[in-house]
Structure 1
Amino acid sequence: MVNKVALSVDEAERILAHPLNLVWPTLRPGRSARDVIQRLESAACQKPIARSEPETSMLGQMFGYGPAKTWGIELARDLRSWSAGELPWAEVDRGIVLSGPPGVGKTVFAKALAKECGANLIAASLGRWQACGHLGDLLKAMRRDFARASKQAPAILFIDELDSFGDRDTFTHDHRDYSVQVINAFLECLDGVDGREGVVVVGATNNIARIDPAIVRSGRLDKHVEIPLPSAPDRIAILHQQLNQAISVGDLSRLATCTEGMSGADLAKAVRDAKRVARRAGREILVGDVAAALPEVIRLDAAHLRGNAIHEIGHTIVGLRLSHGKYLGTDLAYQISSGTAVSTGGRACFEIASVRRRDNQFYFDQIAVCLGGIAAERLVLGTTSDGAGGDDRSDLAMATRMATLAETQFGMGGTLRFSKAISDDSLEHLRRNDPQLCARIDHMLKTEMERATSILRDDRHLIVRLTEELIATGKLTPERVSAIEAELRNRRNLTAVRATMPGSKRKA
């Protein structure tokens, strides 16, 4: 049914100034244009119900952000100098991309950054811009947010789900032209005819590999910082902050292990659940309430613990024998949390120099170290668990990724052909569609698995001794590993000397 309402041009413009989802229900047969305008303007004047949101702390008072926090505090200092006319805008960082798993607090970071900088915060995303309508509406909404940020400078323009734009080089769908126009318009906004003076763009993503390289090139969002899951001290500090200091850090410290692998969002939910329990009981919150709200902690049995220890010792020994990097230590978890997305039984830590020659052997050694854990399990236990695989950060995933890149990007395999594929999805596509590539990757993985096994076979006694130590203490330091190696070496030398002494029993 068509709703016919007589309108002048001026009345039509006043009506169309309102959202269309409000306009259509207001147009009724027999209702005058004046009545329609009054209803729309009356609705626009009504204030939405005020909802209180938790106060966001300044970035300097937040925990778990690592290098991103350092960057933000330095930015705040530079913005104050710029506002005072002491620093030209060309000297200020104008953008950053934050990446990390869901729940680490990328959105909260933007709020805390704006507060630290004394800047206005404008939140946006491609999804919000797309909701405005067709391509023209999307581009208008995008440019409007950038213009609003410029008017409110200094401003933080936070763009969530930055990977939604995609990478133009990978577009093959029917709407390719549409997507290319969106990215091109976004790049124009990032460049800005006036240099975006006073506007800092913060992009957030869970997958940095899916972002068009032009977005993160120099002069645009050229700073990238990964926000990891919070460390044990940070987790306790986050709990303490979420609880408004109602429970001491000392009392919360016993929750460090059972919060392992939890993000800031996970911890915030646990605190909300604990507060609800205390509120319904009509009392102050207790550390026991928080503990009860956390996922169940499962104590590993002896067999599981020994398997994990052997696995981590495999990584440790192969890494040491191949001079994989600076050895920092090995940890073993006695218990795991059942409700976290990331749960690890231990880790062997090596620090790789950021600048070094990365030749064929470097990547082959990397693969061998990744496979050292599963090689140790096979050698000692005669079987393996599923701990070496399971997700894109597992040993097998990293080894396969490096082997594929060595073949398709670095010219270290059976062909010199170069591929731009870098994301796990695109690398998997290459493997599925090229049987010869798959065969070469399998050969590389098999070769490095045999090399890792050979290294460990020569160190059986060291595997046993380090495994015993790791299970007993839960941690190995570089100094302790060196001491155990020296102890075994001295014992072998002593045995050899005794074997040469007169009267010693010799094997026929």
Structure 2
Amino acid sequence: MFKKRTPLKRAKDFALYVTMKRALKGNAKFALGGAGHILLLAPEGTMPGEYSTAAFHALHPDEDILNADYGYMLLDDTMREGKILTEFESECGNKDRSIIVAAVNAVIPGGIRLAVDSILDIEPIGPRALRIAARVVLKMRVTETEAAQLLTYPKEHMWIALRSGRKLDDILRRMAALQREESRADHPKASQATPSLSEMHGYGKAKDWGLQLARDLYDWSVGTIPWDDVDKGLILSGPPGVGKTVFAKALAAECGVELVAGSLGQWQATGHLGDTLKAMRATFAKAKKAAPAILFIDEIDSFGDRSKFAPDNKDYSTQVVNAFLEQIDGVEGREGVVMVGATNNLENIDPAILRSGRLDQIIEVEMPNGADRVAILAAHLKSEFAASDLEGLKAATQEMSGADLAKAAREARRIARLAKRPVTIEDVNASLPTMVKIEGEMRRYIALHESGHTLVGNRLRHGIYIGTQIIDAISAQNTSARGGAAYFDMPLIARRDRQYYCDQIAVMLAGIAAEEIAYGAFADGGASDLAAATRVATLMEARYGMGATLTYSAAAEDAELERLRQFDRNLAERVHHTLQGEFERAKAILMEQRWLLDEVAAELVTVGSLTPTRLQELRSKEATLPVRSSVRGKRASAKAG
């Protein structure tokens, strides 16, 4: 990896070299030039790449580098386990001596922990290392007090300011002045308190849960209710960007308690297994000491499911999960600590974490709806606009998360700031994705597709029909978003037999069935409907025992179901037969209502929405035109044939 030796010309590199050499003393054999592989954990606030030059000099103490058999690699928090192991094998595995520098929040695979001889911590640059670097590289004498003072300033400022030939007094004076100036500029930001949950938008049931928790914590604090009556744990599930971390902060603000945060990645960054468990216990102990408090565990799915652990790191990972469960049980019996876990992948969480008495409350945070989106945007724009002022931006913000809306608000303020004026609606529009209008033949195509879902769903009485809607425009950055939908309210408790699922598949395929009737073929916009219908048909055969056999399969994820179809041709054929049959059934239902299909589509094109009442009015209109309806039906039948 190294081709030529680079001299330590920068004070920063020399200071990092000093801290690295000090860390390597933890393995005396390696420090004296012996063979071995060493994993060094970079201190918080530094990146592994900063240590490249230092590692080079630590591995090459002399100029004879052509025949050296040394290796070096970086390990950051973005690397996957497979890539880490492959890179280690190519860069370090066959070398006599190697150094791996890992980021503070990097997850270190079990294979790497087994391969290295020592895992050592690099200490942050302290006064001693800074004084040595200043003396050797800059020929500058720095006292212990001066070095400590320099280290109180941002490191990037310190290294830029420290230059050979400059007077140290002048450097310290200028850095102090810059800090005072930036402190004054940042003061308004620092004074802004975290909004409480009652002021937030877009959290639905999670917000209701949090507001109830705030009331319960107050009642508990004044002795009105016992601690056993307070919910002690919640899992927030949802896609990235919906604001799970923001929710935890707002919840703590609403409850008026301290927020203590942790994650497996942070705990693992402290070192080997013993260090990880020690850091975990310290976080829980901190929450207990701060009680009443909210203990927030981010990316709780990273603990994994013990039943799915790979053999090479099963023992390590199992011990971590077991220790986490012990801590949860401890919090369960400790008054004043409420746990909130966040995840993007609920299915990856060990079931024991979710069992009753632990984190048994699970609430999914969905992407915000139109009303919530404009309210969130208004909140980020602060006092510039009320939510009612932004009603026209619902379509432009479609599919945007809370994080996306916060970014748009920042961009709008930046536009106004550059123009040296208050934020305008035009600035907000300019910060949002360009909108493409849905009109002409494309609008009719979407309307016809949704009309198919509407009519088949109503004919089969598959749920209670709520309404149908198509949108007027779509974001240019999200052209795959749905252009419309037919909405049915499904009962939470129902007898779901084979006919129930067949009806569900027919409704799912009714959109492309309507397209084929009208256009002679369907387009690719129905791919998501096909995927959903294929999933249901496969579950009927392989999991629910509603097909050719009573054999049960535990497969539930789409990838698992796909593999079942790939390796079982009979299953794939039965799934195809079910889909084809329900597709034809949906077409037949629509052919019987060909005139009504056109009327509903025309209504959606013109109005953009359809209510149950309006659908009934259109049905009544058809009933008054028996001759015309019959003629239309015959023509449609002839065309389809």
Q: Residue 201 of structure 2 corresponds to which residue in structure 1? A: 63
Tell me whether 1:395 sits opposite 2:511 in the alignment. Answer: no
Q: Residue 78 of structure 1 corresponds to which residue in structure 2? A: 216
Tell me whether 1:294 sits opposite 2:428 in the alignment. Answer: no
User: Could you list the per-position Cα deviations for residues 275-299 of structure 1 after superposition, in whole angstroms to 9, with x for gaps in the alignment?
Assistant: 0010111111111100011000001
Contact 2:23 2:122 in 1 (8 A): no
Contact 1:260 1:337 in 2 (8 A): yes
Contact 2:622 2:629 in 1 (8 A): no
Query: What secondary structure, in the 3-state scheme, does the structure 2 residue paired with 1:482 have?
Result: helix
1:474 aligned partner, one-letter code: G
- Cα drift, residue 23 of structure 1: 6.2
Q: Residue 609 of structure 2 corresponds to which residue in structure 1? A: 475
2:323 aligned partner, one-letter code: A
Q: Residue 560 of structure 2 corresponds to which residue in structure 1? A: 426
Mapping for residues 296-445 of structure 1, pairs under 5 Å: 296-340=434-478, 343-389=481-527, 394-445=528-579
Contact 2:450 2:485 in 1 (8 A): yes
For 2:254 and 2:530, locate their aligned partners in 1 and report how far apart those are by CA, in whole Å. 42
1:486 aligned partner, one-letter code: S
Identity of aligned residues (%): 50
1:245 aligned partner, one-letter code: S
Q: Residue 108 of structure 1 corresponds to which residue in structure 2? A: 246
Change (3 A) 1:195 1:435: farther
Tell me whether 1:22 sits opposite 2:160 in the alignment. Answer: no
- Cα drift, residue 24 of structure 1: 8.7
- Cα drift, residue 370 of structure 1: 1.2
**Count of paired positions:** 475
Contact 1:307 1:377 in 2 (8 A): yes
Contact 1:209 1:422 in 2 (8 A): no
Greater Cα shift, 308-317 or 224-233: 224-233
User: Could you list the per-position Cα deviations for residues 310-347 of structure 1 after superposition, in whole angstroms to 9, with x for gaps in the alignment?
Assistant: 11111111111111101000001121012248722001
For 2:150 and 2:303, locate their aligned partners in 1 and report how far apart those are by CA, in whole Å. 32
Change (3 A) 1:193 1:280: closer
2:611 aligned partner, one-letter code: T
For 1:427 and 1:44, locate their aligned partners in 2 and report how far apart those are by CA, in whole Å. 60
Mapping for residues 158-307 of structure 1, pairs under 5 Å: 158-192=296-330, 195-307=333-445
Counterpart selection for 1:484 from 618, 623, 630: 618
- Cα drift, residue 6 of structure 1: 11
Tell me whether 1:155 sits opposite 2:306 in the alignment. Answer: no
For 1:225 and 1:298, locate their aligned partners in 2 and report how far apart those are by CA, in whole Å. 34
Counterpart selection for 2:596 from 457, 462, 466: 462
User: Could you list the per-position Cα deviations for residues 138-185 of structure 1 after superposition, in whole angstroms to 9, with x for gaps in the alignment?
Assistant: 222222211211111111111222222222233345222322222222
Contact 2:23 2:123 in 1 (8 A): no
- Cα drift, residue 89 of structure 1: 1.5
Change (3 A) 1:192 1:422: farther
What is the Cα-based RMSD across aligned positions, in Å? 3.0
For 1:416 and 1:44, locate their aligned partners in 2 and report how far apart those are by CA, in whole Å. 74
For 1:72 and 1:148, locate their aligned partners in 2 and report how far apart those are by CA, in whole Å. 22
User: Could you list the per-position Cα deviations for residues 466-501 of structure 1 after superposition, in whole angstroms to 9, with x for gaps in the alignment?
Assistant: 0001111000000000111111122228988xxxxx
Query: What secondary structure, in the 3-state scheme, does the structure 1 residue paired with 2:236 have?
Result: strand
Change (3 A) 1:76 1:194: closer
- Cα drift, residue 42 of structure 1: 5.6
Q: What residue ranges of structure 1 are gaps of 5+ in the alignment?
A: 8-17, 32-37, 497-508
For 1:207 and 1:274, locate their aligned partners in 2 and report how far apart those are by CA, in whole Å. 33
Q: Residue 13 of structure 1 corresponds to which residue in structure 2? A: none
- TM, length-normalised to structure 2: 0.69
For 2:381 and 2:514, locate their aligned partners in 1 and report how far apart those are by CA, in whole Å. 44
Query: What secondary structure, in the 3-state scheme, does the structure 1 residue paired with 2:367 have?
Result: coil
Tell me whether 1:446 sits opposite 2:584 in the alignment. Answer: no
Contact 1:100 1:228 in 2 (8 A): yes
2:279 aligned partner, one-letter code: A
Change (3 A) 1:375 1:64: same
Q: Residue 11 of structure 1 corresponds to which residue in structure 2? A: none
Change (3 A) 1:291 1:436: same
For 1:98 and 1:403, locate their aligned partners in 2 and report how far apart those are by CA, in whole Å. 30
For 1:177 and 1:4, locate their aligned partners in 2 and report how far apart those are by CA, in whole Å. 28
For 1:485 and 1:4, locate their aligned partners in 2 and report how far apart those are by CA, in whole Å. 81
For 2:352 and 2:443, locate their aligned partners in 1 and report how far apart those are by CA, in whole Å. 47
For 2:329 and 2:219, locate their aligned partners in 1 and report how far apart those are by CA, in whole Å. 22
- Cα drift, residue 366 of structure 1: 1.5
For 1:336 and 1:6, locate their aligned partners in 2 and report how far apart those are by CA, in whole Å. 61
Q: Residue 280 of structure 2 corresponds to which residue in structure 1? A: 142
Query: What secondary structure, in the 3-state scheme, does the structure 2 residue paired with 1:215 have?
Result: helix
Contact 2:288 2:331 in 1 (8 A): no
Contact 2:376 2:405 in 1 (8 A): yes
Query: What secondary structure, in the 3-state scheme, does the structure 2 residue paired with 1:258 have?
Result: coil
Counterpart selection for 1:127 from 248, 265, 272: 265
User: Could you list the per-position Cα deviations for residues 219-269 of structure 1 after superposition, in whole angstroms to 9, with x for gaps in the alignment?
Assistant: 111111111221211111112111112123343222122112211111111
Query: What secondary structure, in the 3-state scheme, does the structure 2 residue paired with 1:257 have?
Result: coil
- Cα drift, residue 349 of structure 1: 0.3
For 1:4 and 1:136, locate their aligned partners in 2 and report how far apart those are by CA, in whole Å. 19
Greater Cα shift, 118-127 or 401-410: 401-410
Greater Cα shift, 216-225 or 335-344: 335-344
For 1:274 and 1:116, locate their aligned partners in 2 and report how far apart those are by CA, in whole Å. 29
1:59 aligned partner, one-letter code: L
- TM, length-normalised to structure 1: 0.86
Contact 1:328 1:477 in 2 (8 A): yes
- Cα drift, residue 400 of structure 1: 2.0
Greater Cα shift, 18-27 or 233-242: 18-27
For 1:429 and 1:216, locate their aligned partners in 2 and report how far apart those are by CA, in whole Å. 28
Greater Cα shift, 281-290 or 399-408: 399-408
1:280 aligned partner, one-letter code: L
For 2:149 and 2:510, locate their aligned partners in 1 and report how far apart those are by CA, in whole Å. 67
Contact 2:232 2:332 in 1 (8 A): no
Change (3 A) 1:409 1:142: farther
